[in-house]
Each structure stands twice: as structure tokens, then as C-alpha cells.
Chain A
Amino acid sequence: MLNQQGRPTAAGAGEQSARATFTSNRGLQMEEALIFEIGRRDVSGVDLDEPEAFSSRLGAHARVGEIGLPGLSEPETVRHYVRLSQKNYAIDSGLYPLGSCTMKHNPRLNEAMARLPGFADIHPLQPQSSVPGALALMDELSHWLLVLTNMEAVAMSPKAGAHGELCGMAAIKTAIDARGEGATRRIVLVPESAHGTNPATAASIGFEVKAVPAGADGKVHPDAVRALMGPDVAAIMLTNPNTCGLFETEIVEIAQILHEGGGYFYCDGANFNAIVGKARPGDLGVDAMHINLHKTFSTPHGGGGPGSGPVVLSARLAPFAPVPFLRRDGERLALVEHEEGTSSLGRLTAFHGQMGMFVRALSYILSHGADGLKQASEDAVLNANYVRACLADVMSLPFGNKPCMHEVLFDDSWLKDTGVTTLDFAKAMIDEGYHPMTMYFPLVVHGAMLIEPTESESRAALDLFIMTLRDLAMSALRGETERFIGAPYLAPRRRLDETRAARSPILRWVKPMRVE
């Protein structure tokens, strides 16, 4: 590979360029101190007039003593955060192939729409009569989600995917309690390949988690479920398409086994983006599924949120949806905010859900339309398969070189005896200007590398990515371990000592002791 100057990007190149500077800055790569080191207690970037004299009603509750917060003027603040931002990788700067995370383009129209005062500047507790447009927007988004999934009802309030899982599993628990089986149906089946949130969610509301083994083909098979099914089983939590990037072929039969045995089928919808407009979860026998608006419908990930996790429910679970929910009375929409007189499972958050994300998601959905959403799913699957086809001869596919859905899973058997691990390989990608793929997940595959290119990548971008991975792969196979073991060499930081961070945690800045 050649870089822009036509110089070879070889192992050790980073160390040669690591010329010491007075500031520790390297050209555009700025070192930036903490606000606690550059801020001052008496500086503020906000002008306010001191209030006129008044008689305080704080009583004995007024704060005494310093808080210790630093302040910066506006120019200093802007510079601080711009410099910090420049230390981050982002979808806007490059391909971000994090499997299961769906790093697709975030259209800026959606940001503009969410900032309209009629959406951003309304209060969750102002009279419902003063926000008919907000209720209509929630209703319209709900309609799209229900038609795309062929489900009965949708709970809009969950704040993220894992919160959606809590909502769906809570609906299942409430339904089971309503049947009088709460004391006996306590087991939830979860495949080992599941996201960690699945077992964590089930356990958090008192279910006992039992693992379902996957077959040699990476899928869950009816026999494995049948063997575990019994009157003590409340539900299965199954991701579909699954975390190996495969559609669960026998999902309908699995759903039937659950239903016939008196259980429910919770589907983790993290990978719904592969099948939007192609197949509907309601047709597969799903009882509850969360939809990550921040994955499938492209609300920005924001460095770790906010997300939004509406949950679609089957007719069997719809009566147990959390408050608040929308109710239509003729032309008029109303939010039902209290559970009294309903069979609702209760309340999961203070207000109505992630309105800011609803606006962005609906903007994305209306832009695409039914035809565009289907095309996006097809392109996502096409791009993942293209990556698979172009790398299958150098990297190893644990379940054979067969079609995948929107993400392709490699394992590390091809790296055997090279001295390079999945982690090393991923870190070397950083030097080449790429964010690594998801590593070591799912757990069912050794040294997993899960690549999700998404539909947002052009063919040229995919080709360069593929050529880069091929070059890295050949380099690893040739034994050029130096390029990997110490990587990254060229990022704002080299590998960070995570053991040290965990052993004696420093979780906040503390004023250094003054040395006299």
C-alpha cells in the first residue's frame, strides 16, 4: 500500500516519524490538557446580569464553600472541544465496520428537523392540547414501525436497546403473572451468541438464564430448543438475524415450540436493519422486539448514546405495554400516562421516550420511503457479502463461504501460528485509517472479527477497505509481526494500559498536592 505521498506505509514507520516537539503536538494533532488544568474558578464563558436585591428562600439549605468547578471563556471552550473532537474516529471521517453496531451515515436533515422549536422546545408535561403535532409524529412513526414489522402495538418510551429489552421482557413477565404462572415460569433461554444485554436484562427482573447451544452452522435449531422447553420456560431471547450475521432459518418452528409450550418469543432487533422491507418479524412468530432507532433508522450514536428502543408487541402482549402510550379517540390522540384501569406493566422512564430520536428516525424513514428502506437493507446485505467474497480466500469463515446478512463474521483460525492476534490485527487497521471491526464477539467463535460495512459505503470505499485488509492479512501471514504487535503507531495514543486503569482506578481529576 502507498500513502498519499507515495511513500511505503511499512512497519515501524510510526516510530521514525515520532520526532519530539517542544509542545508534544504533532502538526494538526494537538495535545489537550484537562479543563481542570486550564480553567479558572473566576472565569465564565456565559454573561449574566447579577439579580436585583431579593430575600432568599433557601433557608438553611444554601451552599457554603467552593464547588471547585473550573470555567473557560467561549473561545477557550470552543478550542478545547474542537481539539478533543479531533482525537476521535467517526463515520463522517471513515468506514466504521463495527459489526452489530450499524454505523451508517447520519443524514444532517434529521439533525435540523429535531432542532425545530416545535419539537426541541416543548415540555413533556405541557397540556396535551398544546402538542398535537408531537403526538401525531409519535403516531406516524408508530404506524411505520408496526407496518414494517407486522405487529400489533408499539411501546415508544424505552430509551435504548437494552431498555427496550427490559420493556419486552417485563411485558412477558407481566403476561405470565396475569396467567398465574409467575412462580413457575422462571427460565429464559438465551443462546451463547447473544448480546450481553440479553442475559443481563432477564436476570435483572428475576429470570433464570439457561443457555441454548447453537449448531455447527452458527444457528439455533429447533431440537436444541425443544430439549429445554418445559412448563418452567417463560421465553426465549433470540437475535435475528443473529450475531453471526446469519438469518435463523428455523425461526418459525422455534417460535412455535415456545408458543405451544406456553412461552413467548423475544426477538433482539439489533439486526433488524438487514431485513427491513424484506421480511416482517410478526410473520416469524415474534411476541416482542426492540428496534434500535440508533442502528436501523440512523439516529446518531453520539459517542455512546442517546439511543432509542421502541418495542413492538404481538396481540398477546399488547395489553401489557408500559405507560405512557398513545390512544386514538376518533381524530384525537391522547397519551395515557397512568396505569390505573389498564393492565400495563407500569412505567419505565419519567416521560414519553426519546422524542428527539423519534423526529430523526421519522425524517430518515420518510426520506427513504418503503422503497428506499428495502433498497437500504439489500445494499447493506450486498456490501457485507461483497466483503465476504473478496476476503474469503485469505481470512477464515467459521461457517463456510456462504451468504451472510448485513455483517460477515470471520474467526482467527487463519492467523494461527502467525503470532498475530485478532486484537493486533484490529489495532493495525487503526494505522491504516480504519476503525476496527467488532472483536471477540460473538463469543461462540474464536477470535471473532465481525464486519458490518452498512449500505452507506460506496463500491470504491469497499474496494479500498478490502485491499487494505488483504494487505494486512498478507503481511501477517508473511510474519511481519512488528506491524501488528505494537500497533497502533500513528493514532493520537498508542495502546493504553487497561490493566493499570482497572487495578487502581482513577475515575476523576483530583487537585495535585502542592510541592513546596
Chain B
Amino acid sequence: MRYLPLTPTDRTDMLARIGVDHVDDLFADVPAHLLLKEPLDLPRRKTEQDVARALGKLAQRNMAAGSVPFFIGCGAYKHHVPASVDHLIQRSEFLTSYTPYQPEISQGTLQYLFEFQTQVALLTGMDVANASMYDGSTGAAEAVLMAHRVTRRRKAVLSGGLHPHYAAVVRTQSALANDEVVTLPADVSARESLLDQIDATTSCVVVQTPDVFGNLRDLSAIAQKCHAHGALLIAVFTEAVSLGALRAPGDMGADIVVGEGQSIGNALNFGGPYVGLFATRQKYVRQMPGRLCGETVDAEGRRGFVLTLSTREQHIRRDKATSNICTNSGLCSLAFTIHMTLLGEAGLTKLARVNHANAVKLADMLAGVTGVEVLNTTFFNEFTVRLAGDAAQIVEKLAARGVLGGVPVSRLLPGAGLDDLLIVANTEVNTNEDRAQFVAALQEVL
């Protein structure tokens, strides 16, 4: 077996050194009748090329985003990731190291985490960010738990513009902990009155911008009302590139900002692994979940970095920890920070402009198609259209024509009576030709 260095002779000699006759003697603590005698009904080992062939066949059965005109978003976005990003994250010293528990020989990981935390804090307009969560949705659930700790209240209010899967994750977590959640109805046009929901029992309000339908929301008034009632505002985003064009949630008064970082540096990966971004105000640092990297000095006075404030964490605090999270999204946060370093402020803001410009172009084209109505007055790179027909069926017909044309709202909210709505995203990867093909295919199937 190519991954196992021991030879039969090694094994015999080592057993002798240990002082046993057979390897099963080392498994003596396993009750004898439970030790498997017969091989399991599973295939035997395969060569590298046979594995590559088998998995290659499975991969070929999927319609890859890059092979077709592609307009799907809703929490995961296809962007161009520079080749150097994937090369660098495959450096052995990044790929095959553990969580940096031994800082003297982990300064590489620790320094990029410090840089990552700073980039996330700058982007969100917040004071501090942690070293990542699993993804945006679990980050949102953790943010709600954190708000409960800070306010000592247990009622969260979720905007109807929050990604329905994020809302479901928050509701699941809250139901398990017997916390209260108020979820407002799907809010396609950003007209809900969140302010009426905030009172002295509210722990937090969770609002997404751009929301799942693509609308841009001003959070300032919500923040003011939250703060007047001692509640926290949790701002959510699922498209990190939007922060290159839009006001930072921190500038609008958010207390916790959580978001999905996939769209910078990371592939679509059918939903994971992604990287959750989590930022907050300095005064709440000790209530944060997850790892934090901090600056310090070594015994010779040189600058260095360590994991810090770990008395919040499960390996120290156990059942009193702020979260149970241990392994997070290290390598995905590395991809994020490398891509962000390559972009820089000039590149990020331009990337955001290109995304917005492309989306505007598509919206204008779609507005001219009979049977299509663009619903948004504001958007970044994603918007909602009303179709003359069932959006899920239309999406299937588009796929049959080799176009991946967006997410039908019924996929996220079945039974909500929104079956004619389609959410369409458009990033820098889409060309004029892609858009023309999309529009032509849509005209055919409508």
C-alpha cells in the first residue's frame, strides 16, 4: 500500500520488540467477539490511476459552472480566483500543519491569521474579527448566541430578507437551546417594518444586506432602535465582494457582523468548505466565539503572534465556553487573505464595480424580455425577477439548454407562494456572450 511505509519485516521486528506475537494482541482490550474476523464487504485497494479514473467519471457527470453561462448566487458566488492563490495554499507548510498551538513553529499561520483578522475588521468597519467560523450561516447562529450572552436576553428577530437557510440554521440552534426566534415573512422588496419588532425583550435583530433577494438595506435606523432598547444589531452578508462597493455594516451601527467569505479566494465546492467571517466591537471581544490571534513578543523581544483569549474556548472553559468550535476554516481563510492581498483596495473596489456593472447590464437586458420583470430598485451583483411561469421549471429547462440561470425562490422557500420568482447573480466571470445566451434561452422557454 503506497501510503504505508512499514514492510512485513518491520512489522515482525517491531512486534517482537514490543513483546507480542500478533498485532491482534495489541487489540486485546477490544472484546474478542467484536473484533472483525472476516473482511468487510467493501472493495480492495486501488492504484492511483484507478482512483483518478473512478472519481473523474463521477466529476464528469456534473455540469461545472465554468463550462456554461452561469448566473447562480444566493450565498455562494463564482469569481475568478488568481492562480497564485491555489498554488500558495497548497504549500506543504500551510496545507499539512495543525492549528497553531505551538507558536514558535507556527508563525506563518499565526501571522496570516493576524492579517486576515485585520482585513476582515477593515472591510466590515468593525474593531476586531476572529480567525474564522465554518461558514456564514453557522457564524450567524453563533452571533445570535453571542448576543444572548451580551444582553442576557433570549429573543432574536430575523429579517425576511435573511437567506432562508441562514434563518433555518439560527432557528434550529435556538430551538435546541429553547431560545425564542421571530422570523418575519419573506420580504422580497425590503419593505418590512423591523422597527416594530424591537422591544425591551429583544436580544438581537439579524438583517442581511445585500439581502437574499439582492436589495440593499440601510441599517442605521434599525441600529438606533436596537441600541435604544439595549438590543444588538447583527448584520449579515453572503457576498464579501459587495463590501468593496457598499457602506460597511460597522459604519451603519452594527454590533456584530457575520458573513460568508467564500467569494474571495474560494471555489464553489458544492457548498463547502467555505469560510465564515465574524467581526464585532472591541467591548464584546470576550464574548466572541472562535479563535483569536494576537500580537505579542518572544523571549528576545521580537514581535510574534499567538492564539489568545483562549479562556473563552472549549479546551479551557469546557461547558462554560462561548462556543464548542475547535477546527474552523484555516486554509479557506488563507485563500481569502491571499486573494484580498492580491486585490488590495484598488483591486477590490474595481472588482466590485465590474460586478455591479455586469449585473446592471443583465438587469437591463432582462427587463426588455417579455414575461420578465426586474423587481429590485437597488442591488449589487444579484437581483430578483418575476417570471411568467414557474421559476423552478424554467430553471430546469434552461439547464437542459446548457444555461445555469439562477435560483428559483421556491428552492429556498417552498410553499411561500413565490414560485414565479428567480434570483439571478452576475459577477465578473460573465461575458456579454453569456448574458446574450441566457436571454436567448429564457426567451425560448418562457
Q: With the chains together, A424 CA to B102 CA distance in Å?
A: 12
Within 8 A of A (CB), among B366-381: 376-380
**B435 interface residue (CB < 8 Å to A):** no
Whether B34 lies near A88 (C-beta < 8 A) is no
**B439 interface residue (CB < 8 Å to A):** no
Q: With the chains together, A250 CA to B64 CA distance in Å?
A: 50
Whether A122 lies near B62 (C-beta < 8 A) is yes
Whether A385 lies near B102 (C-beta < 8 A) is no
Which among B87, B309, B325, B341 is the interface contact of A502 at CB below 8 angstroms? B309
Q: Give the Cβ gap from B168 to chain A, nearest Cβ, in Å.
A: 4
Which among B97, B298, B327 is the interface contact of A307 at CB below 8 angstroms? B327
B407, closest chain A residue (CB):
A125
- Residues of chain B with a CB closer than 8 A to A58's CB: 216, 245-246, 356, 378, 380
Within 8 A of A (CB), among B326-350: 326-332, 334, 338, 340-350
Mark A328-355 against chain B: 1 for CB-CB distance below 8 A, else 0.
Answer: 0000000001111000011111111111
The 3 closest A-B pairs by CB, nearest first: A71-B344, A351-B271, A118-B59
Whether A123 lies near B268 (C-beta < 8 A) is yes
Whether B67 lies near A125 (C-beta < 8 A) is no
Whether B291 lies near A304 (C-beta < 8 A) is yes
Q: With the chains together, A283 CA to B132 CA distance in Å?
A: 37
Among A5-13, A76-84, A413-421, A474-482, the stretch that binds chain B is A76-84
- Residues of chain A with a CB closer than 8 A to B44's CB: 369-372
Q: Give the Cβ gap from A269 to chain B, nearest Cβ, in Å.
A: 14
Among A225-233, A295-303, A310-318, the stretch that binds chain B is A295-303
Q: Are A127 and B395 also in contact (CB < 8 A) when A46-B343, A505-B308 are?
A: yes
Within 8 A of B (CB), among A472-495: 486, 488, 491-495
**A395 interface residue (CB < 8 Å to B):** no
Whether A494 lies near B97 (C-beta < 8 A) is no
- Residues of chain B with a CB closer than 8 A to A338's CB: 414
Whether A72 lies near B344 (C-beta < 8 A) is yes
- Residues of chain A with a CB closer than 8 A to B404's CB: 123, 126-127, 130
A309, closest chain B residue (CB):
B327
Which among B66, B298, B318, B414 is the interface contact of A496 at CB below 8 angstroms? B298
Q: Give the Cβ gap from A31 to chain B, nearest Cβ, in Å.
A: 8
Q: Are A43 and B344 also in contact (CB < 8 A) when A57-B363, A350-B135, A505-B292 are?
A: yes
Whether A367 lies near B347 (C-beta < 8 A) is no
28 pairs of residues in contact across A and B, judged by CB atoms under 8 Å? A46-B347, A51-B358, A70-B345, A87-B111, A98-B101, A122-B62, A122-B65, A123-B70, A124-B268, A130-B399, A137-B58, A195-B326, A196-B318, A200-B319, A209-B318, A301-B330, A346-B172, A349-B135, A350-B166, A350-B260, A367-B3, A372-B3, A379-B6, A457-B5, A488-B104, A495-B298, A507-B294, A508-B128
Q: Are A363 and B55 also in contact (CB < 8 A) when A52-B357, A74-B84, A96-B98 are?
A: yes
B337, closest chain A residue (CB):
A35
Q: With the chains together, A307 CA to B324 CA distance in Å?
A: 14
Q: With the chains together, A60 CA to B252 CA distance in Å?
A: 12
Whether B324 lies near A162 (C-beta < 8 A) is yes
Which among B313, B330, B351 is the interface contact of A303 at CB below 8 angstroms? B330
Q: Give the Cβ gap from A28 to chain B, nearest Cβ, in Å.
A: 13
Q: Are A507 and B128 also in contact (CB < 8 A) when A89-B102, A121-B64 are?
A: yes
Which among B93, B246, B348, B376 is the interface contact of A92 at CB below 8 angstroms? B93
**A63 interface residue (CB < 8 Å to B):** yes
Whether A81 lies near B88 (C-beta < 8 A) is yes
Q: Are A134 and B62 also in contact (CB < 8 A) when A87-B106, A106-B96, A369-B45 are?
A: yes
- Residues of chain A with a CB closer than 8 A to B46's CB: 366-367, 369
Q: With the chains together, A59 CA to B6 CA distance in Å?
A: 66
Whether B45 lies near A371 (C-beta < 8 A) is yes
- Residues of chain B with a CB closer than 8 A to A280's CB: 34, 36
B166, closest chain A residue (CB):
A350
Q: Are A430 and B102 also in contact (CB < 8 A) when A58-B356, A66-B345, A125-B411 are?
A: yes
Q: With the chains together, A449 CA to B302 CA distance in Å?
A: 29
Mark A355-383 against chain B: 1 for CB-CB distance below 8 A, else 0.
Answer: 11101001100111111101110110111
Q: Give the Cβ gap from A228 to chain B, nearest Cβ, in Å.
A: 16
Mark B70-111 against chain A: 1 for CB-CB distance below 8 A, else 0.
Answer: 101011101000101011111111111111111111111101
Mark B22-62 against chain A: 1 for CB-CB distance below 8 A, else 0.
Answer: 01011111110011100111111110101110111111111
Which among A63, A120, A160, A356 is the interface contact of B134 at CB below 8 angstroms? A160
Whether A123 lies near B26 (C-beta < 8 A) is no
Whether B296 lies near A379 (C-beta < 8 A) is no
Most buried by B among A42, A101, A367, A496: A496
A426, closest chain B residue (CB):
B102
- Residues of chain B with a CB closer than 8 A to A214's CB: none
Among B9-17, B196-204, B225-233, the stretch that binds chain A is B9-17
**B224 interface residue (CB < 8 Å to A):** no
Whether B177 lies near A279 (C-beta < 8 A) is no
Mark A374-418 against chain B: 1 for CB-CB distance below 8 A, else 0.
Answer: 111011011101101110000000000001110000000000000
Whether A305 lies near B122 (C-beta < 8 A) is no
Further contacts, 5 of them, CB under 8 A, given A101-B98, A196-B314: A50-B350, A74-B82, A134-B58, A351-B165, A382-B11
Q: Are A122 and B324 also in contact (CB < 8 A) when A277-B36, A340-B415 are?
A: no
Q: With the chains together, A320 CA to B114 CA distance in Å?
A: 40
- Residues of chain B with a CB closer than 8 A to A247's CB: 27, 29-30
Whether B109 lies near A304 (C-beta < 8 A) is yes
Q: With the chains together, A338 CA to B359 CA distance in Å?
A: 30
- Residues of chain B with a CB closer than 8 A to A458's CB: 5-6, 10
Whether A304 lies near B99 (C-beta < 8 A) is yes
- Residues of chain A with a CB closer than 8 A to B35's CB: 278-279
Which among B105, B128, B270 is the interface contact of A351 at CB below 8 angstroms? B270
**B163 interface residue (CB < 8 Å to A):** yes
Q: Give the Cβ gap from A334 to chain B, nearest Cβ, in Å.
A: 13
Mark A81-118 against chain B: 1 for CB-CB distance below 8 A, else 0.
Answer: 11011111111110010100101011101011101111
Q: Give the Cβ gap from B62 to chain A, nearest Cβ, in Å.
A: 4
Whether A88 lies near B64 (C-beta < 8 A) is no
Whether B84 lies near A203 (C-beta < 8 A) is no
Q: With the chains together, A487 CA to B64 CA distance in Å?
A: 51
Q: Give the Cβ gap from B354 to chain A, nearest Cβ, in Å.
A: 5
- Residues of chain B with a CB closer than 8 A to A339's CB: 168
Whether A78 lies near B379 (C-beta < 8 A) is no
Which among B18, B109, B271, B317 is the interface contact of A386 at CB below 8 angstroms? B18
**B169 interface residue (CB < 8 Å to A):** yes
Whether B356 lies near A372 (C-beta < 8 A) is no
Whether A294 lies near B327 (C-beta < 8 A) is yes
- Residues of chain A with a CB closer than 8 A to B74's CB: 125
Which among A93, A348, A435 is the interface contact of B138 at CB below 8 angstroms? A348
Which among A56, A132, A427 is the interface contact of B62 at CB below 8 angstroms? A132
Whether A91 lies near B97 (C-beta < 8 A) is yes
- Residues of chain B with a CB closer than 8 A to A302's CB: 89, 94-95, 97, 330-332, 334
- Residues of chain B with a CB closer than 8 A to A118's CB: 56, 58-62, 64
Q: Give the Cβ gap from B306 to chain A, nearest Cβ, in Å.
A: 5
**B293 interface residue (CB < 8 Å to A):** yes
Q: Are A111 and B90 also in contact (CB < 8 A) when A67-B345, A160-B326, A278-B30 are?
A: yes
**B315 interface residue (CB < 8 Å to A):** yes
Q: Give the Cβ gap from B349 to chain A, nearest Cβ, in Å.
A: 8
Whether B95 lies near A353 (C-beta < 8 A) is no
**B112 interface residue (CB < 8 Å to A):** yes
- Residues of chain B with a CB closer than 8 A to A41's CB: 344-346
Q: With the chains together, A125 CA to B272 CA distance in Å?
A: 12
Q: With the chains together, A203 CA to B324 CA distance in Å?
A: 9
**B218 interface residue (CB < 8 Å to A):** yes
Q: With the chains together, A359 CA to B105 CA distance in Å?
A: 30
Q: Are A124 and B102 also in contact (CB < 8 A) when A59-B377, A370-B43, A494-B300 are?
A: no
**A252 interface residue (CB < 8 Å to B):** yes
Q: Give the Cβ gap from B165 to chain A, nearest Cβ, in Å.
A: 4
B46, closest chain A residue (CB):
A366
Q: Are A506 and B294 also in contact (CB < 8 A) when A77-B342, A283-B34, A492-B105 are?
A: yes
